[in-house]
C-alpha cells in the first residue's frame, strides 16, 4: 500500500462520502430547501451566542456580590 493510494482513499472518503448530502442539496432547484442548512446553523449560532452571554452576565453578577 503506497502513500498515494492512502491519500486517494482519504480524498474519496471526504469528497464522495462525507459531502454526499451537500451534493444532493446542490442538485435541488428550490432556493429555500438549499439554504435550510445555512439557516439552521445560523439559528444554532445565535442561540449559542445568547446562552454564552447569559452565562457571562450570571458569572459577573456572582463575582460582584
Residue spans per domain, the chain: 1-30, 35-65
Three-class SS state of 30: coil
Burial of 26-38, coded b for 16+ CB within 10 Å and e otherwise, reads eeeeeeeeeeeee
DSSP H or E stretch at residue 6: helix 3-12
- The pTM (predicted TM-score) of the whole model is 0.62
Instruction: Write the pLDDT tens digit of every residue in 11-25.
Output: 999 999 998 888 888
Please report the pLDDT score of residue 65 as a whole number.
Answer: 75
Give the CA angle between residues 22, 39, 47 to the nearest 5°: 125
Instruction: Write the pLDDT tens digit of every residue in 12-63.
Output: 999 999 988 888 888 889 999 889 988 999 999 999 999 999 999 999 998 8
Q: How far is 61 from 65, CA to CA, in rounded Å?
A: 6
Amino acid at each position: 500500500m503506497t502513500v498515494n493510494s492512502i491519500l486517494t482513499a482519504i480524498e474519496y472518503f471526504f469528497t464522495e462520502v462525507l459531502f454526499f448530502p451537500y451534493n444532493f442539496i446542490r442538485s435541488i432547484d428550490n432556493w429555500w430547501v438549499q439554504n435550510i442548512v445555512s439557516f439552521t446553523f445560523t439559528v444554532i449560532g445565535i442561540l449559542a451566542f445568547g446562552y454564552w452571554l447569559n452565562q457571562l452576565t450570571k458569572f459577573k453578577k456572582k463575582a460582584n456580590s
